[in-house]
Amino acid sequence: MNSRIKLTLTAFTISFLGSLPVGVLNIFATQIYMSGTLTGTLLFIAGVLIIEALVITFTLKCAQWIQQHNGWLKIAKITSLLFLIFLAGWYWFTPQPEAGISETEMMSYGIISLLTTGLLSGLLNIVQIPFWTGWNLVLINSGTISKTAQNSEQITFILSAITGTFFAMLSFIFATSMLTEWFTISTTILYQRILPVTLLLVAIWQIRLFFTSTK
């Protein structure tokens, strides 16, 4: 298999599978979509992808340095865990309107505002730093990415990765929307009961992985 095709498929697969589980970004994007605005959803995702591209570029160039200073990785993981727990509590105790936000209200925030929301949400997604650092080291050590990766190779990797994230987020959004319709789950139950419990379970699972990796 051509090395460039292999790199493309690898980056896409890692990003797609890594972005599918329940997470802060998927939740926010689903809320925007279920409010009835696909345009707003795509703007939000665009902001998220811009940040992810920057994170991948940074971790690709500094993967070995980050590994040597793994205290920063632990801080990033702990921060992301605390944010998940906070988000679970916020959704549980904050009343969620049954009708959600109307498309008119959402689009009244403006294109820049929705894009900025995606950018800020991407910045809050600190867990992507250890995620991409770990995978970049694996790919570099396996020879999938050369240690002195050329610009064209890096661009291929980054574009393939954010494409995987894009399709993963859309898959999550459409799947959640369809399941909600099929099982006639109200948005209040979805966001104020099912979602916080799921986030808490994800946090518990990540805490278990964190302590396992530090032994």
The sign one gets for the Cα dihedral 101, 103, 106, 109 is negative
Domain boundaries, given as residue ranges, for the chain: 3-73+95-188
State mean pLDDT over 42-46.
Answer: 92
pLDDT of residue 169: 93
Q: How would residue 73 be classed by pLDDT, with cut points 50, 70 and 90?
A: low
Q: How would residue 149 be classed by pLDDT, with cut points 50, 70 and 90?
A: low
Share of the chain above pLDDT 70, in %: 76
State mean pLDDT over 69-92.
Answer: 73
pLDDT of residue 196: 76
Mean pLDDT of the chain: 78
Say what the pTM is.
0.77
What residue has token string 């050590």?
141
Query: For the segment 92-143, what is each residue's pLDDT rounded down to a tens digit?
Result: 777 655 544 544 554 455 555 778 888 988 887 777 877 888 888 888 888 7
DSSP state of 184: T
Q: Are 88 and 203 in contact (CB under 8 A)?
A: yes
State mean pLDDT over 69-96.
Answer: 73
State mean pLDDT over 173-190.
Answer: 74
* φ, ψ of residue 23 in degrees (nearest 5): -155, 170
pLDDT of residue 13: 93
Q: Are 165 and 48 in contact (CB under 8 A)?
A: yes
How would you classify residue 50: left for phi > 0, otherwise alpha for psi between -120 and 50, otherwise beta? Answer: alpha
Query: For the segment 26-43, what is each residue's pLDDT rounded down to a tens digit?
Result: 888 887 887 767 888 899
Q: In a 3-state reduction of DSSP, which class is residue 3? A: helix
Share of the chain above pLDDT 90, in %: 18
Of 109, 105, 136, nearest to 120 (Cα)? 109
- pLDDT of 200 over the 90 cut: no
